Amino acid sequence: MTNVTIRGLCKYFDRVKAVDNLDLEIKAGEFIVLLGPSGCGKTTLLRCISGLERVTAGRVFFDDHDMTYLSPKGRDISMVFQNYAVWPHMRVEKNIAFPLKVKKFPQQEIKKRVAWASDLLRIEELLDRYPAQLSGGQRQRVAVARAIVVEPRVLLMDEPLSNLDALLRVRMRSEVKKLQQKLTVTTIYVTHDQVEAMTMGDRIAVFNQGMLQQVGISDVIYHNPANTFVAGFIGSPQMNFIEVEIESINNELYLRTKNLTIPLNDKFKAKVSEHSGIRNYILGIRPEHIYLTGQSKTYPVTKGKVYFLELLRSDTIIHLETEFGFLVVKEPGDLKLEENREIEVSFDLNRIHLFYEDTGNSIMT
């Protein structure tokens, strides 16, 4: 088991800051997920850790060994490439066996491991085909099989399940997770699928524009997002953001905007009074934390006109037109609401997030 320490890592491509001053500590045997939108530098970070990319600045350590300038060969890692990189001139079997051959495993052991990996990824029937004769998803599974047959110090996976159908993806998620627990290999897993991140990661590191936004267990990422980016990126549908001002009415503090007045929760009070009135704020609330009044006993807050309904059958997503903009509400089950009807909704006061408008940071941090 190896822990990976990244210190002050920068990777610039001319003027593009693909990775910008990253500090990250990955514990031995941990399954960490790198989550972020397309182009935020996830692949670049993996390539820096693997040694394929020369870093612009900063250091990469495996345990106490400085790996920053070591070639990939000396790092004892495995990687699933985003575009698979399965060698076209080798049959599937040879592809999977290749890392074992390089490490001079005995023939018997190679056979055993290839059989094991191909069984796990359900590609036994494909073993003597060439990659050109495989579908994208099959090729991807070959790439995963090739990466797991050796027991590397660090396993790097770049969106390894992105091309599988929904059913297979869910099954593979649990297989990969279980496998990782069994092998207890330090794993860095890149995805832009938040469900994958939530379900698989011991911890999640959220990136945007080359910068680490927040790192923590999924619970923290979801319930205490560090800034508006994390808050907006995690959760579906997206969190509602409403610009608010803080107002004092009868010595009580309220968050106010047109047609909306919300008493300030105790946990925010101390923070706000430190610099009251100077800054503008953004209130964040997730669609699942807004209720139709009558269904919950929390504070009744605002009215809105039903603009559009998304019927997902398991849930109903209601788009409300309010005086302060659109509000998305998620209610469990089938709801029958006709469009343009006025309804009242209430916010779960304990689930309100508050961010500074200028920096986007949560006021709790």
Partner 1 sequence: MENLIALKTNRIPWALKIRGVLTILVAIFIGVWFLTPLVLITISAFASPRDYYQIEKVIPTHFTVEHFHALFFELEGWQAMLNSLKVVGLTILFSFTVGLPASYALSRYKFRGKSFLKLSMLASRMFPVMILAIPLLIIYMKIGLSDTIYGVALAHTIMVLPLIILVSASILASVSVDYEEAAMIFGLSRIHAFLKITLPLALPGLVASAILAFIISWNEVFIATILNLTNRTLPAHIFRSAMDSPDYFKFTAGFIMSIPAVIFIFFVRKHLVTMWGISLK
Ligand X SMILES: Nc1ncnc2c1ncn2[C@@H]1O[C@H](COP(=O)(O)OP(=O)(O)OP(=O)(O)O)[C@@H](O)[C@H]1O
Three-state DSSP state, 162: coil
Q: What is the closest distance, in whole angstroms, from the C-beta atom of residue 190 to ligand X in the complex?
A: 7
Work out whether 43 is an interface residue with Mg ion (CB under 5 A): yes
The SS3 assignment for 145 reads helix
Hey, which residues between 113 and 132 contact partner 1 (CB under 8 A)? 132
315, 304 Cβ separation under 8 angstroms: no
Tokens of 360: 């986007």
Contact residue for partner 1 among 81, 207, 233, 268 (CB under 8 A) = 81
| Four-CA torsion 166, 172, 177, 183, nearest 10 degrees | -170
d(CA 294, CA 308): 21
**Least distance (Å) from Mg ion to the CB of residue 8?**
22
Q: Which of 6, 77, 176, 262 binds partner 1 (CB under 8 A)?
A: 77
Selection from partner 1, Mg ion, ligand X, none that 73 binds (CB < 5 to 8 A by kind) is: partner 1
Nearest of 338, 336, 244, 324 to residue 284 by alpha carbon? 244
Give the whole-angstrom CA distance, residue 200 versus residue 31: 8
Tell whether residue 346 is a contact of ligand X (CB under 6 A): no
User: Nearest distance from residue 218's CB to Mg ion, in Å?
Assistant: 21
Q: Identify whether the C-beta of residue 245 lies closer than 8 Å to the C-beta of residue 256.
A: yes
Q: Is 208 in the site for Mg ion (CB under 5 A)?
A: no
Contact between 105 and partner 1 by CB under 8 A: the answer reads no
Q: Name residue 210's beta-bridge partners.
A: none
- Closest approach, Cβ 2 to ligand X, in A, equals 23
How many CB atoms are located within 10 Å of the residue 323 CB?
A: 12
**H or E segment at 220?**
helix 218-223
CB closer to Mg ion out of 191 and 316: 191
Q: Which is nearer to Mg ion, 4 or 190 (CB)?
A: 190
Residue closer to partner 1 (CB basis): 96 or 161? 96
- Count Cβ atoms below 10 Å from residue 272 Cβ, excluding itself: 18
Nearer to Mg ion, 206 or 363 (CB): 206
Around 114, how many Cα atoms within 13 Å sit in the side-chain half-sphere? 23
Q: What, of ligand X, Mg ion, partner 1, none, does residue 72 touch, CB below 5 to 8 Å by kind?
A: partner 1
Q: Which does 237 bind (CB under 5 to 8 A by kind): partner 1, ligand X, Mg ion, none?
A: none
Stretch that binds ligand X, among 42-50, 97-105, 306-314, 346-354 (CB under 6 A): 42-50
15 binds partner 1 (CB under 8 A): no
Q: Where is 47: in which H helix or E strand?
A: helix 42-50
Count of residues that bind ligand X according to CB under 6 A? 13
What is the token pair recorded at 196? Answer: 């994958």
Compare residues 82 and 298 and give the one whose CB is closer to Mg ion.
Answer: 82
Whether the CB-CB separation of 152 and 179 falls below 8 Å is answered with no
Nearer of residues 230 and 345 to ligand X, judged by Cβ: 230
Q: Is 42 in the site for ligand X (CB under 6 A)?
A: yes
Q: How many CB atoms lie within 10 A of CB 173?
A: 18
Judge whether 228 and 196 are in contact, CB under 8 Å: no
Of 15, 38, 250, 340, the one binding ligand X by CB under 6 A: 38
Report the interface residues with Mg ion, using CB under 5 A.
Answer: 43, 82
Report the interface residues with partner 1, using CB under 8 A.
Answer: 50, 52, 71-73, 76-79, 81, 83, 85-89, 98-99, 102-103, 132, 146, 150
